[in-house]
Structure 1
């Protein structure tokens, strides 16, 4: 005679319970998923917040089955998700900041560069980093940004516009070995935000990633480019470094470890920047060394498939807000004083830079300086 044990609330729903615990495990330890066999680990890391979505149907199944074990496991998954991502949902005051940086992949098929530039200007940033600049669209960006951002440099398809003088500019070679032909998607510039205060700024557009039937989540070119960029930043002499770019990955992606291991970013997990139609991940990043990213937000959509990202940065203590805003520090004050002031540059030395002469009464005039 076969005796059947009556299922109880603790023995029902074991499959649901196992799935819920698996979700909790992935949320806590995504690095346990291997990179081999199509790189599922990297894919999960890029979309990690979305692991909260399957928790809802698992909860419904647990209720329908009246399973205490499944409900307990789902509760564990909920607690883990809230612990990992809840802080990003809480309102908080970022406090004081010294610089505002806008990062935007403007798209090489953007039909209205002038309108895109106006959206970026409205955020009142100090630095604007752009990717996917084309020869056809570049003049429109230069015209629109020339007034408030008199200093700029463009290398290949990436560019940097600044309120502050650029004392050095150069290409940053991050091209993977397998890519041939014209390909220039990195630059380095030194921004002089105040006398005796220089910041090294990198603008980069890492190669795209692909999901392919044969190779899965293919990130090889991007990872190689990230490693090259990481080497340059590791060798950087400047105390303060800012990296702004389309990195084609989130800061949780293991392929970006050469960058995330030495640069900091804000833990704003839900300020998704891509794609514009339904943003699912923030692959546009502003990261720092020797400074703190205190806030990250997205701006309204432009003609790009990426949303612009605006980051507020607090610099180290080499120069206080009060000292920078004091008239004796050599700052101009065309309105409310900028935290670091607007230093009056006299010369610039490199590339496609527009230098500004200014006085205590006006922002002055601009003139192009060419090599």
Structure 2
């Protein structure tokens, strides 16, 4: 008889897969999983076809297409005024999740502690568990989802080796301001702690606010790994192409693990993204306004409903509170209710927590959708 105990016995099918399957089963409007329902830029698709026809169909360099790494370095230079070496400090990865995973496996050993702010992306804690580390979950302070810095200070121990930051934040849509970073620096600058900064929504910042990258702070420059996503930026989540940026020392450690987790990213996608970024710098320049208009359309429609909300500061997600509608239902039950009775699907916020706060009544909707989809969604939600 075979006997192979699970390394992740508590992990089942992700809530994202469950909700998308429910939407398909019920023919419901799917505002759960985070992907656009509109096409990628036509020129980008043409560049992909050109790349495949030109023969870019074999392995790329394990660290990524150099010209694309140079484009990433240019973005950091233009936005943050920092100089990254594309050869030694940037790696192109097949999506952001593998970048997060390889970073954790490279830096966390058995018994090490990793601070995670809840609600949190669902890949963080399992990756820590597989590295035989221990996740220390600290809940953000509702309703604004701010960091409790006193609690962070209390939770840092001699075993703390990593703090995972996510800004703009999925699922809440909040962003870290400069003071948040300064608070973090004050706590860790004299300790053997690295920052893993998940910045996949870095270009989706609203209302004239600014994105602060971990690498933009000199005190964090040598102790941070930043993870980004081309899929989020260019509406091609299915291309699974992202990047990691870090100091040469941390990047060396990252690549030692990454090369055995995934040899390289998809070559024609990297070539296509390079050419598109070179020829269409306006895409990223206009991205915040593009998504803010969608957020504004969605929240304007929500004003006709009984849901409470605070406008998202970034990402393409909007959280809503349904306390005034069905407080008798927990958020998973509420998602089921909305799907079955109103034909619209959301994500329950509780799945992003290790321990769900008492009386949490919040859902996450994705507004990376066409105007028609958002109009229809708002009509549905106004009737709930």
TM-score normalised by L of structure 2: 0.27
Query: Higher helix fraction: Structure 1 or Structure 2?
Result: 2
Query: Higher strand fraction: Structure 1 or Structure 2?
Result: 1
Q: Which has the larger radius of gyration?
A: 1
